[in-house]
Structure 1
């Protein structure tokens, strides 16, 4: 008599399941709802119950993905940083660079435009009630951006010896952000006047290290 077990085909190993589309959609809905809430509420006013109501999903689902508000905000900040990186990925308009300061002017103009269009980003990065973890993450990300901005300058100009213990381009970004923060808190956005003041402030700092006339790189 034939052994049925011997004839049974071995079970194929089941592939590891990917995250379900429903879960990804809910996570995205939570983050999008938080962005919308930050259009009318400050960071300190946001609660997970508000987010659940805005996203039209059960509060338990929000807690499943983000047990605390801070975890939700930190994830949203990472998305803002990714958008900052994308902005910096855009090529510079070489034809508009006649002086080293034009590089920072172009970069700052992009970030100002982004901030002006996204209130949730202003409140997360420039707001008065910034979570300490977000503030630290912003500082670390500025360091990364500063390294990239230095590389942009090095592509065009022969830079003089610069301090090794800190990144002057990262500090310049932080100086500009401080001015934008004042504008956001006073006027609810970055006004054109304060945008120019932020650019002026970061360039004034950089001029302490970069001479007005730098030699161009040999191409």
Structure 2
């Protein structure tokens, strides 16, 4: 209860009172960890200099690397986000977060590159995050972490999917 209280910012008695089932605790932790991970990925990506990015693919790889490092270094986060789903509402929260992350990813891409106007692109970016989630959940179930091979394959799958919509090269924004 104390560890959960630390993550949620609540005293242990409040944790027990407000979240009186394990499922309720997992749902709240899932929400907190999703928000934390998304915030860290966006913050890292917004701080990149254009010379660190040769292409939109580099931005995708960089974001996935941050996510992998965060998850692999935080056992509680990995267990909640990549472990078995205890309740449908956790999965729904993951989808909502991936939808938000898709919109934020599009904004990041537009910050660095001249992105063609593609209807529903934020939705396609959400689906690309779902592809990665599926692969990473499998790796976590097998190894307790996102291993190098699964990470490489998740990047490959993500980029291959996004190439269905994005051109191979995008012009770097000059107003950076």
TM range (shorter): 0.7 to 0.9
1:12-44 deviation digits (Å, cap 9, x = unpaired): xxxxxxxxxxxxxxx7x2515899xxxxxxxxx
What displacement does 1:66 show?
1.3
1:124–1:130 CA contact under 8 A, matched in 2: no
1:142–1:173 CA contact under 8 A, matched in 2: yes
Between the aligned partners of 2:121 and 2:85, the Cα distance in structure 1 is 30
Q: Find the counterpart in structure 1 of residue 98 from structure 2.
A: 142
**2:62 corresponds to 1:89:** no
What displacement does 1:108 show?
0.5
1:127-146 deviation digits (Å, cap 9, x = unpaired): 23442111000100111111
* Equivalent residue runs for 1:1-219 within 5 Å: 29=2, 31=4, 62-87=15-40, 88-90=42-44, 91-164=47-120, 167-219=123-175
Between the aligned partners of 1:101 and 1:165, the Cα distance in structure 2 is 15
Change (3 A) 1:62 1:105: closer
TM-score by length of 1: 0.69
For structure 1, list consecutive stretches of 5 or more residues without a partner in the other structure.
Answer: 1-26, 36-54
1:82-135 deviation digits (Å, cap 9, x = unpaired): 311331222224322011111111110000001111222222222234421110
Question: Rg larger in 1 or in 2?
Answer: 1
Could you list the runs of 4 or more consecutive aligned residues of structure 1 that deviate by over 6 angstroms after TM superposition?
Answer: none
What displacement does 1:209 show?
0.4
1:143-195 deviation digits (Å, cap 9, x = unpaired): 11111110111112222232338611111111111111111111121111111
2:35–2:97 CA contact under 8 A, matched in 1: no
Q: Which region of structure 1 is more displaced relative to structure 2, 141-150 or 60-69?
A: 60-69
Question: SS of 1:210's equivalent?
Answer: coil
TM-score by length of 2: 0.85
Question: SS of 2:168's equivalent?
Answer: coil
Instruction: State the Cα RMSD in Å.
Output: 2.5
Between the aligned partners of 2:159 and 2:151, the Cα distance in structure 1 is 13
User: Higher relative contact order at CA 8 Å, sep ≥6: structure 1 or structure 2?
Assistant: 2
